A = this chain, B = another copy of it.
Amino acid sequence: MATGRNHRPATRSRGIPEATVARLPLYLRALTALSERSVPTVSSEELAAAAGVNSAKLRKDFSYLGSYGTRGVGYDVEYLVYQISRELGLTQDWPVVIVGIGNLGAALANYGGFASRGFRVAALIDADPAMAGKPVAGMPVQHADELEKIISDNGVSIGVIATPAGAAQQVCERLVAAGVTSILNFAPTVLSVPDGVDVRKVDLSIELQILAFHEQRKAGEEADAEAASRKGPDGDMPAVMPA
């Protein structure tokens, strides 16, 4: 994702739409749960309910992968787990580095959900000399000076940034220069990267603000319903622009 670009123009990789790719992990999680309960087959209706999506959407999503269902029966759970895993690239091992081992970075390092799929934390990296060598989640933190060597030695292509916002762009550039081509960014900044590098962001603050917007709207609608008969339809908005 390059500077200022946040939607993929023609990246329907092998014809698989981006929106579908984003839902495959959801299906995979639901299927894994079924697999653990030894359920042999599942219908699109049942699986869709478990994944929290529309069944027509699920069938269309699967149709991009191929015809893996059996009409009148449904989908073979184990087979579908394998197919989706393969499509997502989870049949191979993905070494990941986490940069910035503070509150959040340490929590991520301790997170078990990493290893559960093919992701393996290859190294924890921090710029603070006091952190170097300290064990976090049973793994010694390495100094940022080693970044390039770590990436190269372990063949890391996915990096997680959990540094303060001010350091994120610089860390990003070092990661990319060292060979990382996918970045998961937790710092509240827009990252600029060259073409061919994917960036996904997780931003708590943005999520909360979106919730606040809808929350305010709900409160406003209640108030509107109450005050509807008293005033005009327009609540309170200065029509003129100051300054």
Cross-chain contact B211 with A198 (CB below 8 angstroms): yes
Q: How many monomers of this chain does the complex have? A: 2
Cross-chain contact B68 with A241 (CB below 8 angstroms): yes
**Distance of A243 Cα from B83 Cα, bound (Å):** 14
Looking at the complex, which of A123-131, A140-148, A170-178, A202-210 is the stretch in contact with chain B? A202-210
Which of B11, B103, B209, B210 contacts A106, CB < 8 Å? B103
**Closest residue to A201 on the B side, CB-wise?**
B207
Cross-chain contact A214 with B113 (CB below 8 angstroms): no
Which of B13, B52, B76 contacts A217, CB < 8 Å? B13
Cross-chain contact B104 with A49 (CB below 8 angstroms): no
Given A29-B188, A181-B215, A196-B218, residue A206 in contact with residue B158 (CB < 8 A): no
Q: Is residue A228 within 8 Å, beta carbon to beta carbon, of the partner chain?
A: no
Which of B66, B78, B92, B213 contacts A21, CB < 8 Å? B213
**Distance of A207 Cα from B184 Cα, bound (Å):** 7
Given A51-B190, A103-B110, A204-B108, residue A213 in contact with residue B117 (CB < 8 A): no
A116 CB contacts on chain B under 8 angstroms: 205
Which of B4, B78, B207 contacts A49, CB < 8 Å? B4
Given A184-B207, A217-B13, A218-B196, residue A158 in contact with residue B107 (CB < 8 A): no
Cross-chain contact A190 with B50 (CB below 8 angstroms): yes
A104 CB contacts on chain B under 8 angstroms: 107, 111
Cross-chain contact A206 with B22 (CB below 8 angstroms): yes
In whole Å, how far is A123's beta carbon from the nearest beta carbon of chain B? 16
Q: Is residue A6 within 8 Å, beta carbon to beta carbon, of the partner chain?
A: yes
In whole Å, how far is A110's beta carbon from the nearest beta carbon of chain B? 5
Cross-chain contact A209 with B25 (CB below 8 angstroms): yes
Which residues of A come within 8 Å of B, CB atoms?
A: 3-6, 11, 13-14, 21-22, 24-26, 28-30, 48-54, 66-68, 70, 76, 78-79, 87-90, 92, 94, 96, 103-104, 106-108, 110-111, 113-114, 116-119, 157-158, 181-184, 188, 190, 192, 196, 198, 200, 202-218, 237, 241-243
4 tightest CB-CB pairs across the interface, nearest first?
Answer: A89-B216, A52-B190, A103-B107, A182-B211
